[in-house]
């Protein structure tokens, strides 16, 4: 009887899948949230990742949202940003999620079982240049 109960409980429990999280940026990822897609409650952060670090976590199969919060970035002397990146995943088996900067997509992102989640880091605001001197464009006088 006891072994039948264990078998029933094992069959009814959700199957856990391993998700490997990889930080391919040069910045610390301070928080990583994993939650059901569309959920207003993101729950606690699951981990943090140093630059080029990897960690593995286990989750029940299903449709999940993965959101990473990067360390603060200095854009220019007046502007700071804390980039975030998020993406939806259908977790049906082991998976690798790679966080990267949009302008530096790693080749591994195109492999099966790998999901890429890009950070978009704001560019600096263009510095105001004084208007050019129109007399510099004139041909020399003869």
The 3-class SS string of the chain reads CHHHHHHHHHHHCCCEEEEEEEECCCCCEEEEEEEECCCCCCCCCCEEECCCCEEEEEEECEEEEEEEEECCEEEECCEEECCEEEEEEEECCCEEEEEEECCCCCHHHHCCCEEEEEECCCCCCCCCCCCCCHHHHCCCCC
- The highest-level CATH class for domain 15-122 is mainly beta
Determine the Cα–Cα distance for residues 51 and 5; give it in Å rounded to an integer.
Answer: 46
Mean pLDDT over 111-119 rounds to 94
Specify the pLDDT at position 1. 55
pLDDT band at 12 (very low <50, low <70, confident <90, very high): low
Q: Are 35 and 41 in contact (CB under 8 A)?
A: yes
Specify the pLDDT at position 5. 46
pLDDT above 70 coverage of the chain, percent: 77
Residue 63 has pLDDT above 90, yes or no: yes
Mean of all residue pLDDT scores within the chain:
84
pTM of the model: 0.76
């Amino acid at each position: 009887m006891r072994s039948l109960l264990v078998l029933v409980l094992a069959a009814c429990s959700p199957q856990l899948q391993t998700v490997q999280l990889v930080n391919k940026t040069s910045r610390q990822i301070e928080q990583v949230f994993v939650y059901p897609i569309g959920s207003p409650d993101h729950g606690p952060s699951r981990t943090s990742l140093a630059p080029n670090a990897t960690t593995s976590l286990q989750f029940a199969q299903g449709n999940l949202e993965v959101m990473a919060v990067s360390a603060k970035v200095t854009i220019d002397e007046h502007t700071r940003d804390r980039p975030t990146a998020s993406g939806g995943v259908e977790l049906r088996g082991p998976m690798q999620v790679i966080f990267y900067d949009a302008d530096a997509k790693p080749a591994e992102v195109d492999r099966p079982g790998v999901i890429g989640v890009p950070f978009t880091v704001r560019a600096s605001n263009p510095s105001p240049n004084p208007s050019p001197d129109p007399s510099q464009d004139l041909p020399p006088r003869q």
